[in-house]
Chains A and B, each alone.
Chain A
Amino acid sequence: MAPVAPKSGDAIFASVDRVNAELFTLTYGAIVRQLLTDLEEVEEVKAARSNNFLVFVMSCCRGYNIGVRLVDEFLAKSNVSRCVDFRETAEVIAKVGFKMFLGVTASVTNWDAEGTTCSIILEDNPLVDFVELPDTCQGLYYCNILSGVIRGALEMVSMKTEVTWLRDMLRGDDVFELQVKLLKQVPEEYPYKDDE
């Protein structure tokens, strides 16, 4: 039973403020460049491999903070109601979310048997226009901010997930592939203790 396709992000994308796409790409490139520079100044970081790992973690954390705020804007503008299951959630992220914020539509594939893991495939990624990784940064996950954003946003709607990169165009693959794995759903608990 395929989930009903949510209304497309085209309409919302047309109505929100947009910035020049080149400005966006170059700004993101500057952020990554700055992250690399900041970490190079750290004395303990010697090997290029651990440098890339730190950038990976830092951009994931920044992405997480962005995701936590992004989800409210997404809910306010797109008017989607609560998704019934994780399949619908993944479709909404790919079709409405990516379209609304990056202007590209992603597709969802590779569902596992329980329906808790899927892959989101991006053929076109505005973050990497004009980008080529130099030899010193061959292990770098350039777009890792996206995995943090998805993880942060899903946590705010009570889903604990793990998001990893399977394929990356900057490393020679043909598309970008993100694996999203649902760890658990965390329902709301009454926050106050009874004796207060």
Chain B
Amino acid sequence: MQFFGGSEISPSPPAPAASGNNAHMLYIFNRNGVCLLYREWNRPLKTLSSQQDHKLMFGLLFSLKSLTAKMDPTSVEKGNLGVPQLPGQGCSFHSFRTNTYKLSFMETPSGIKIILVTHPRTSDLRDSLKYIYNLYVEYVVKNPLYSPGTPIRYELFNKAVDQYVRGLG
């Protein structure tokens, strides 16, 4: 019978390109718009209450996904704008960049959305977002005391995320 030990969160984290705290904020939403996690490391200007901020962020992503799917020049079927889509279906944008920040986005077929706002010169963060999703699975989903769909309040997860993001280039 098999008997193996050893636990490695797979895939192993991408090597950080530069040190220093590069990231501004992290959001994790589920498919119903509930903000599961909001972490802030560097945000000098706050204009909205946190509830409005979460709604704004979620609404932005929802609309952007719809827009990008509608404007896809390679897709055969073009649904109407605003028609609800299955998560992960259609082409999905993965980042946008302004002159002051870059927002990276990843959505899983189960509807979990991970958003990381960083310095504008950050390289592609898709692997890092996948790693954060792995952390979510290990520390939150596998925690028997966690009810899916509720905000995450686990120090261990927060620390793991902080530590990982701090190492990002």
A: residues with CB less than 8 A from B are 15-22, 68-69, 71-73, 75-77, 79-83, 103, 156-158, 185, 187-192, 196
Contact check, A75 vs B108: say whether CB atoms are below 8 A apart. yes
Partner of A103, one of B2, B32, B33, B55: B2
Hey, which chain B residues are within 8 Å of A196, CB to CB? 55
Chain B residues close to A by CB (< 8 Å): 1-8, 10, 31-33, 55, 58-59, 62, 83-89, 108-112, 130, 133-134, 136-137, 141-142, 148
Contacting residue for B85 out of A68, A157, A188, CB 8 A:
A188
Interface contact B137-A73, CB-CB below 8 Å? yes
Say how far B136's CB is from chain A's closest CB, in angstroms: 7
The CB with the most chain B CB atoms within 10 A, among A22, A76, A156, is that of A76
Which residues from B are CB-within-8-Å of A157? Answer: 86-87, 109-111
* Assembly CA distance A191 to B149 (angstroms): 13
Task: Note all chain A residues with C-beta closer than 8 A to B1.
Answer: 20-22
- Bound CA–CA A129/B167 (angstroms): 46
Given contacts A21-B2, A156-B110, A192-B59, contact A76 B137 (CB under 8 A): yes
Residues of A within 8 A of B6 (CB): 17
B110/A71 in contact, CB under 8 A = yes
- On chain B, the residues within 8 Å of A158 by CB distance are 86-87, 111
Which B residue sits closest to A19, measured CB to CB?
B3
Q: Are A68 and B4 within 8 A (Cβ)? A: no
CB <8 Å contact, A185 and B86: yes
Instruction: Output the nearest chain B residue to A155 by Cβ-Cβ distance.
Output: B110
- Closest Cβ of chain A to B160, distance in Å, is 14
Answer whether A18 and B2 are a contact pair too, CB < 8 Å, given A76-B133, A81-B109, A191-B32. Answer: yes
> Complex Cα distance A118/B86, Å?
22
A-B contact pairs, 15 of them (CB 8 A): A16-B10, A17-B6, A18-B4, A21-B1, A21-B2, A69-B141, A71-B110, A156-B31, A157-B109, A157-B111, A189-B84, A190-B59, A191-B32, A191-B58, A192-B59
| Cα–Cα distance between A68 and B134 once the two chains are bound (Å) | 16
Across-interface contacts of A189 in B (CB, < 8 A): 84
In this complex, the member of A15, A20, A75 whose beta carbon has the largest number of chain B beta carbons within 10 angstroms is: A75
